[in-house]
Structure 1
């Protein structure tokens, strides 16, 4: 039996799901017959049928003075989702442009004293960590990172390959100190195209899970096991972390 949960995730109401599945089973039918089969009153059936037609999932035709409805090929569901994604993307792009237009005005509202005050922001869950990493794309200098490629890709498998491309496209370079494992060695093969300089720690005992990114006046710490991230905005703290990083980098490079 087909789970209705799948259709709920697609944005279908329970009645829309029942009518769509009934149409698939009945081939072609009238609203009256459909109402009898599903237990949904005929007026509601008409409204739902029109909604499904707009979604491109069913069709209708006239035969001997009666209107019949039929389900289209279920593959149309994929086409429907593609259209929904396109509309969603257009909406996001439009919203992004609107925000970009008012950013200067919003930035002007920040009190001068607030810009120099240290700030700590916490992010939780996969969505939160994604949001934290989006901030690194605002880096105005080379990002200094301690990173375990293996745990990063386990934590956000669909995010990082695309993130690397976006960072490189933005012209943001990165230095990375990484533990030795299969993924770090494979990823280092793409260092040039992804604007990255890697140092792989050959000693297998020197491994770690969290990632640290140091850039601008910020230090981002992401814990993959605990599914959280902390973004520290402090000129003094970031400066210290950059000094420590450079000492470690130079020592390993010797």
Structure 2
């Protein structure tokens, strides 16, 4: 698609803000960048443009938490299931007009925001860890392939599994990393990832890298609660705006 200078400026600003949030609290990049981009383009394009920058964000987040090989060994099954689910979701996204998935994106964000208000009896997650990884990994991957948002499903799983903050951050980012890598392969093989998209992604990668560096530096200096409140407020506005855009 042709990219105007105005679009590049707006998109770079979106990527910068999303990466700054992610670097500061360890999560949030695709959940901020995707709905904001979806307001100025279609969801399909928004997901494609976030592919390469998200890989960088995921790698930095996983590495910055330490104990990399232990984390990979522990979370690999969940990430592999997420990869399979992401393949299914991406193939569906490629086959069907992505505009219909904007509503799903808005709903997924709302679930994420109010997930602590929803009470489920999910004791079986700890009792059957292998089965729960299969179910939640596939579900998170499919949702991520369709909307670029895995967090609602992964948060339910990681919280019910009693993961530490470090484990939650690394599990989420590893699942997203595997999902993005398979999406790059699938979009490219189906001719969906053009040279223009690649060039735009590389520009966004620069903005993302700078903001991510700043975010990681200030991670220990600013209270996470402040960022969480601002993030949730922004996401609520975005979810409502997207749903209004789709239905009205």
TM-score (norm 1): 0.23
Larger Rg: 1
Higher helix share: 2
Report the TM-score when normalising by structure 2: 0.23
